[in-house]
């Protein structure tokens, strides 16, 4: 099975290499890994006390970030190595100042894992959420280096919990993990059923991150002016299938103002959204605080980095991605105690499931469902007030996961 595992990795790497001349992300994935060992050899010193955190991509980084910043504040004697699997994580956060070293994780071969651990010699290791790299995990175990899985989440469909060829072999990976900080009871129960008891239910560390962002409170005068006294719907991280439903609704229903912050801000995509509306729209990059924006109803954010601050001005949020591989971060909006809507692909996101169960979030699959929920929320101030109270209670209850991890790892 190990041979099949490594063969699969090499096939993946070969395909990425073949398409890299034509695909930007594949090129970054391949070229970035070529530099990892050179980078580590030149940067890391033998006397460094390294804590290594690995994140697959940007979403996992946001889960790991509160932990990094808490450790740096409480235990400055450690240096943080942050690794990524995906270019969408590394390329955006390669200059993150709270990490001392940042690079791509070399491919999970036995040779690479052995070389990596020998260079880095980490004192403690944190893998975020779904990362199960067999050779790295085995090498850490052989060196008796503690490995913690943070904000991890398990479901019965994962191979670990199946009775099929390869499952028992793959399941052995889990028994090399020092401790599991899981998001929910189901995850803890699944691990317990296969004999793993070293778990703690902490929830999701992203609650701590969004609470910190909200507390810092970046004001956006243009957004405040645009909203005025109107109800405002924020469509955040939207993709084309989301935007098709949203524009159909907003072309017919004009009671609110709308801000679109699409996931893709390249010019062709922004123009596509503009052309889908039956009225003039504003571009954020084209206005300033003195621009007359009172007669506009739709504002498109054609830049990145401000969405989490925009949500504070919303009355309702729609979170994109639910018609594709999965929804984006619902907590960025929910921290401001507003209802959230999203597409049907949300069930693997525990926070979204919890928000729905609390009556704070509303999944939609059709224009009819979108219309029903939007109309109800727009026209029902009492319902909005009830949701605000529920949301506030839910968010406050779930803040604090980072402290639980730090206390267990460093203070017991």
Query: For 230-252, what is each residue's pLDDT tens digit?
Result: 999 999 999 999 999 999 999 99
Q: Is residue 101 part of a domain?
A: yes
Q: Closest by alpha carbon to 137, among 104, 162, 166, 171?
A: 171
Question: Which pLDDT score, from 0 to 100, does residue 162 have?
Answer: 85
Same domain, 238 and 297: yes
Domain CATH number, residue 230: 3.40.50.2000
User: Residue 365 — pLDDT band, cuts 50, 70, 90?
Assistant: very high
pLDDT tens, 266-294? 999 999 999 999 999 999 999 888 888 88
Same domain, 369 and 324: yes
Same domain, 229 and 174: no
Q: Is residue 7 part of a domain?
A: no
CA Rg, the chain, in Å?
A: 23
Tokens of 191: 């691990």
Same domain, 150 and 233: no
Question: Which pLDDT score, from 0 to 100, does residue 99 have?
Answer: 96
- 73: exposed, middle or buried (C-beta count within 10 Å: 0-12, 13-18, 19+)? exposed
Tokens of 283: 């571009």
Same domain, 202 and 66: yes
Q: Is residue 26 part of a domain?
A: no
Question: Which pLDDT score, from 0 to 100, does residue 116 have?
Answer: 97
Q: Is residue 31 part of a domain?
A: no
Rounded average pLDDT over 144-149: 97
Q: Is residue 17 part of a domain?
A: no
Same domain, 190 and 270: no
**Domains of the chain: total:** 2
Same domain, 265 and 155: no
Question: Which pLDDT score, from 0 to 100, does residue 342 have?
Answer: 98
Same domain, 293 and 174: no
Q: What percentage of residues in the chain have a pLDDT greater than 70?
A: 100
pTM: 0.84
Q: Is residue 39 part of a domain?
A: no
Q: Tell me the CA distances in angstroms from 2 to 8, 117, 145, one per residue in order.
A: 10, 19, 22
Q: Is residue 28 part of a domain?
A: no
Residues 6+ apart with CB under 8 A from 138: 113, 173, 176
Same domain, 252 and 389: yes
User: Residue 13 — pLDDT band, cuts 50, 70, 90?
Assistant: confident
Same domain, 222 and 192: no
Same domain, 353 and 407: no
Same domain, 360 and 250: yes
Range of the domain at 109: 44-212+400-411
CA angle 154–160–163, rounded 5-degree value: 130
């Amino acid at each position: 099975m190990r041979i099949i595992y490594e063969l699969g990795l090499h096939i993946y790497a070969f395909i990425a290499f073949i398409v890299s001349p034509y695909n930007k992300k594949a090129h970054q994935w391949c070229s970035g890994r070529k530099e990892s060992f050179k980078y580590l050899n030149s940067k890391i010193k033998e006397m460094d006390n390294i804590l290594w955190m690995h994140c697959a991509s940007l979403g996992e980084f946001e889960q790991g970030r509160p932990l990094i910043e808490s450790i740096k504040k409480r235990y400055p004697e450690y240096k943080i190595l942050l690794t990524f699997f995906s270019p969408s994580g590394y390329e955006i956060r390669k200059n993150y100042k709270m990490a001392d070293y940042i690079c791509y994780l070399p491919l999970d071969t036995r040779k690479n894992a052995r070389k990596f651990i020998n260079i880095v010699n980490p004192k403690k290791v944190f893998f975020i959420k779904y990362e199960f790299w067999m050779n790295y995990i085995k090498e850490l175990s052989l060196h008796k280096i503690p490995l913690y899985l943070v904000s991890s989440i398990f479901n019965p469909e994962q191979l670990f919990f199946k009775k099929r060829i390869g499952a028992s072999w793959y399941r052995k990976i889990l028994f090399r993990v020092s401790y599991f900080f899981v998001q929910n009871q189901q995850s803890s129960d699944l691990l317990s059923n296969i004999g793993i008891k070293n778990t703690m239910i902490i929830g999701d560390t992203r609650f701590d991150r969004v609470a910190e962002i909200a507390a810092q409170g970046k004001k956006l005068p243009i957004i405040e002016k645009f909203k005025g006294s109107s109800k405002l719907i924020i469509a955040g991280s939207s993709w084309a299938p989301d935007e098709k439903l949203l524009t159909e609704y907003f072309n017919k229903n004009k009671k609110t103002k709308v801000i679109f912050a699409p996931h893709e801000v390249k010019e062709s995509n922004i123009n596509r959204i503009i052309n889908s509306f039956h009225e003039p729209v504003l571009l954020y990059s084209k206005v300033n605080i003195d621009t007359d924006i009172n007669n506009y109803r739709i504002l498109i954010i054609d830049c990145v980095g401000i969405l989490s601050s925009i949500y504070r001005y919303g009355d309702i949020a729609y979170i994109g991605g639910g018609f594709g591989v999965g929804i984006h971060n619902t907590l960025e909006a929910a921290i401001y105690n507003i209802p959230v809507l999203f597409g049907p692909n949300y069930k693997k996101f525990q926070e979204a499931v919890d928000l729905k169960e609390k009556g704070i979030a509303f999944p939609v699959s059709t224009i009819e469902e979108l219309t029903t929920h939007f109309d109800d929320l727009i026209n029902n101030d009492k319902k909005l007030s009830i949701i605000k109270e529920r949301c506030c209670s839910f968010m406050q209850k779930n803040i604090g996961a980072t402290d639980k991890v730090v206390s267990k790892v460093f203070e017991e």
